[in-house]
Chain A
Amino acid sequence: MNTELTGVIVTFLLTVIIAYPLGKYIAKVFAGERTITDFMNPLERFFFRISGIDASKGMNWKEFLKSMLAINMLWLFYAFFLLLNQSHLLMNPDGNPDMTPDLGFNTAISFLVNCNLQHYSGESGLTYLTQLFVINFLMFVSAATGIAGAVALFNGLKHKTTDNLGNFFAIFTKSITRILLPLSIVVAIILAFNGSPASFDGKDSIVTLQGDTVGVSRGPAAGMIAIKHIGTNGGGWFGANSSHPLENPNYFTNMVELVAQMIIPIAMLFALGFYIKRKKFAYIIFAMMTIGMLFLIVPTINWEMAGSPAIEKLGVLQSSGAMEGKEVRFGAAASGYWSIVTTIISTGSVNSMHDSSMPLSGMMQMLGMLINAFYGGCGVGILNYFIYIIIAVFIGGLMVGRTPEFMGHKVEAREVKIAALVTLLSAFLIKGGTALAAYYFVQHGNVVWAVQPANWLNNPGNHGFSEMFYEFTSANANNGSGFEGLGDNNIFWNVTTGFVLILGRFLPIIGPIAIIGLLAKKKYIPASSGTLKVDSLTFGILTFAIIIIITALSYFPPLVLGPIAEYLGM
């Protein structure tokens, strides 16, 4: 069999094999059972004591959200301040400048919300100080925020009636000390031993074999590359992200980074099953998400391995597939596989340039982000899927003519309204943003911004439209990948996507936590013969159908204008 295909198949199998025990472990950590990391206990108690936190005190959904928002707000100001003043601070061996206010605004938000949209290149846009104290820091804490949100959901589902979703600060802390930090250390060491730099030395200058003088950017990158994947963050140390040979040196590290970015999202599903003791419910969700992933990933790998029809016409040999924007050491199959993995789970790191993917592969990448719940990001993937579940429960209830129930709690107008609002908001932000951008591009091409609208697009025609649509899709999904040809470092893109990022992050966390908070408080109704069985295959398929219908209804028109039209025109 083709070694490129065996590579991606084994990568996926390894991911699931590691995710299962990891899920069991995560469930134990948050249930307070004994685990191998209990040696962290005294350290955590010390953290709580000096921070004045009573970790045993539960929170209701409003307290939980207030704590989460308060600490996130602090991080935003902290990050913004450092980015605007980085040139005057320590650890700037390459002499890089401060960020402009609009770029700092965008970058601070982007990393706060676990998106990692980057309108700069790491080599020249940040200092080692901001790489570590802003980017590296936010990568840990934003991932932990996502996990905490998911655990709040678990707590709401676990008990028949409760208003205690757990202590935000305690869950957040354990997410880092028990999950993110240990996993990142392992991955970082693997990367360092395979050639990723980890020292604090600045840019090197060398004379090549042929006699050219070139620079080589370096820095303490290995640790950040590890958490960027473990926490589904995705922002690169270097501009070219994980296609950079120091950020992803060989096929083995490529497999490691692929497994690393996918294990927590999948492990959280298994953890859900163990934690609320409804394993079948979790397995059905896992099955549906996996089917969804396969629908996107199989054709994409196929298209990328087949090569570009336009290049085919020129007559060169395309036996290794469509190679524009790809690296030889990964090949077309692993690049196509990565492009879907990174878009369904909101990592947004890339090992090939998505802008150069085949038109319909680009559409699959966008669909991954538009749905944003086939596994989904660190913690938040489950929250997104939960919204679809609530809508499915509601529609399923209407179909059988009963008041909809979910795990023994009546789902009423208020909960459904929240779920509908979260879903509709995405469509509004993505399409509204794209429409506004297209309007400026067409009508005000000469506005004096850092990049004039007329020069935004790196490619003409339908592909240019895709570049704008992709950017807002990525911002709303908190993904962070891009059709990077887009000239996005100017006030329009920095500010508009900044707002989309914040709304696209916090409403899909606030919404599900509010819903579960409201549901869990209600009186428990024991299951009867007429109860909708949410852990049945039928309900799984219903939810899947709801996802397809909502996505198709919301986004068919822009997908036709972008990738589909480009495909038909080739």
Chain B
Amino acid sequence: MKKYIWPSLKLTLVFIIVCSVLYPLLIAGIAKLAPGGGKGQTVSVDGKVVGYANIGQKFTDDKYFWSRPSAVDYNAAGSAGSNKGPSNPGYLKIVQERMDSFLVHNPGIKKEAIPAELVTASGSGLDPDLSPAGAKVQVKRIAEIRKIDEAKIISLIDKQTEKPLLGIFGPAKVNVLKLNIELDKLK
């Protein structure tokens, strides 16, 4: 065994330098050219940073589009899903409660119209998006509170909807933070 230890030790040192020092430095250097400079892309309103483009935020106010439920309350210092199993009775009760609460805040909406994503927690707890349906089901509430025409808000959603990749791969989605920023600008 001993005759293998020395070469192993020296080769290990070589690859610590390659994999743990040079490689991350190279990537960090190249990432400086990327949007956000490798620090994460931020979004600003009137020159003030209000969030990260990719990280979801909590919106509980009725005048905003709500985000999905989150197991970490949208604090991106951590991240997690609920890890609730599909048959868990306690979990199903929570989903029922979210439905009830949604219906109270959105009078006139039927439960069959609530997309499941609005009553289920995301994998990361930081999901930045909604499906177009998940946004549109909230239009009535927001239109009433803000006293804006429903059609105007719907066309805003359509404008903010990101189509599937190249038009053919994956689901369509709406970034909730960007949508709400635009919503604040609507008159």
In order of increasing CB-CB distance, the 3 nearest A-B pairs are A215-B77, A243-B123, A485-B83
Q: A244-B79, A325-B122, A459-B84 given as contacts; is B171 within 8 A of A216 (CB)? A: no
Instruction: Give CA–CA (A240, B83) in the complex, Å.
Output: 11
On whether the beta carbons of A243 and B15 are closer than 8 Å, the reply is no
On whether the beta carbons of B87 and A328 are closer than 8 Å, the reply is no
Q: Which of B20, B90, B119, B172 has the most CB of A within 10 A?
A: B20
Question: Quick check: which of B27-35, B138-146, B147-155 contacts chain A, the rest being far away?
Answer: B27-35
Chain A nearest CB: distance from B183 CB in Å?
Answer: 10
Q: Cβ of A98 < 8 Å from any Cβ of B?
A: no
* Contact among B18, B39, B168, B171 for A320, CB-based, below 8 A: B171
Instruction: Give CA–CA (A204, B37) in the complex, Å.
Output: 15
On whether the beta carbons of B121 and A324 are closer than 8 Å, the reply is yes
| Number of residue pairs A-B, CB distance < 8 angstroms | 394
Q: A314-B95, A315-B111, A356-B83 given as contacts; is B171 within 8 A of A329 (CB)? A: yes
Q: A47-B14, A195-B41 given as contacts; is B122 within 8 A of A308 (CB)? A: no
Measured between beta carbons, the chain B residues less than 8 angstroms from A222 are: 27, 31, 38
With A206-B49, A217-B76, A485-B83 already in contact, 9 other A-B pairs whose C-beta atoms are closer than 8 Å: A10-B169, A141-B12, A172-B11, A209-B64, A243-B123, A318-B116, A330-B170, A356-B83, A484-B81
Q: Cβ of A282 < 8 Å from any Cβ of B?
A: no
On whether the beta carbons of A3 and B38 are closer than 8 Å, the reply is no
The residue in chain A whose Cβ has the minimal distance to the Cβ of B114 is: A316
Q: Cβ of B104 < 8 Å from any Cβ of A?
A: no
How many chain-A residues does the 8 Å CB contact rule pick out?
124
**Could you give, for residues 188-219 of chain A, a 1 whenever the CB lies within 8 Å of some chain B CB and a 0 otherwise?**
11001101011111011011111010111110
* Contact among B5, B7, B31, B61 for A199, CB-based, below 8 A: B31
**Could you give, for residues 173-187 of chain B, a 1 whenever the CB lies within 8 Å of some chain A CB and a 0 otherwise?**
100010011001000
Report whether over half of chain B's contact residues are helix, strand or loop; otherwise say mixed. Answer: mixed
On whether the beta carbons of A124 and B173 are closer than 8 Å, the reply is no
Measured between beta carbons, the chain A residues less than 8 angstroms from B14 are: 47, 50-51
On whether the beta carbons of A317 and B114 are closer than 8 Å, the reply is yes
On whether the beta carbons of B11 and A216 are closer than 8 Å, the reply is no
Q: Which of A209, A214, A218 has the most CB of B within 10 A?
A: A209
Q: Cβ of A169 < 8 Å from any Cβ of B?
A: yes
Q: Which of B36, B50, B80, B121 has the most CB of A within 10 A?
A: B80
Q: Cβ of A527 < 8 Å from any Cβ of B?
A: no
Q: A192-B34, A245-B126 given as contacts; is B23 within 8 A of A181 (CB)? A: yes
Measured between beta carbons, the chain A residues less than 8 angstroms from B26 are: 185, 223
On whether the beta carbons of B116 and A356 are closer than 8 Å, the reply is no
Q: Cβ of A249 < 8 Å from any Cβ of B?
A: yes
Within 8 A of B (CB), among A445-498: 458-464, 466, 483-485
Q: Cβ of A71 < 8 Å from any Cβ of B?
A: yes
On whether the beta carbons of A209 and B77 are closer than 8 Å, the reply is no
Q: Cβ of A251 < 8 Å from any Cβ of B?
A: yes
On whether the beta carbons of A197 and B86 are closer than 8 Å, the reply is no
Within 8 A of B (CB), among A302-340: 307-311, 314-331, 334-335
* Contact among A47, A246, A315 for B40, CB-based, below 8 A: A246
On whether the beta carbons of B127 and A245 are closer than 8 Å, the reply is yes
* Contact among A249, A317, A330 for B113, CB-based, below 8 A: A317
The residue in chain A whose Cβ has the minimal distance to the Cβ of B14 is: A47
Measured between beta carbons, the chain B residues less than 8 angstroms from A47 are: 11, 14
On whether the beta carbons of A7 and B124 are closer than 8 Å, the reply is no
A-B contact pairs, 29 of them (CB 8 A): A7-B168, A51-B7, A52-B7, A53-B11, A66-B1, A123-B77, A133-B20, A176-B15, A195-B41, A195-B53, A198-B30, A204-B39, A204-B40, A208-B74, A209-B180, A210-B64, A223-B26, A223-B27, A240-B123, A244-B126, A245-B127, A325-B82, A325-B122, A326-B123, A350-B123, A353-B83, A356-B86, A460-B89, A461-B87
Q: Cβ of A524 < 8 Å from any Cβ of B?
A: no
The residue in chain B whose Cβ has the minimal distance to the Cβ of A330 is: B170
Measured between beta carbons, the chain B residues less than 8 angstroms from A358 are: 86
On whether the beta carbons of A121 and B80 are closer than 8 Å, the reply is yes
Q: Cβ of A220 < 8 Å from any Cβ of B?
A: yes
Q: Which of B34, B40, B86, B127 has the most CB of A within 10 A?
A: B86
**Could you give, for residues 237-270 of chain A, a 1 whenever the CB lies within 8 Å of some chain B CB and a 0 otherwise?**
0111001111001111011000000000000000
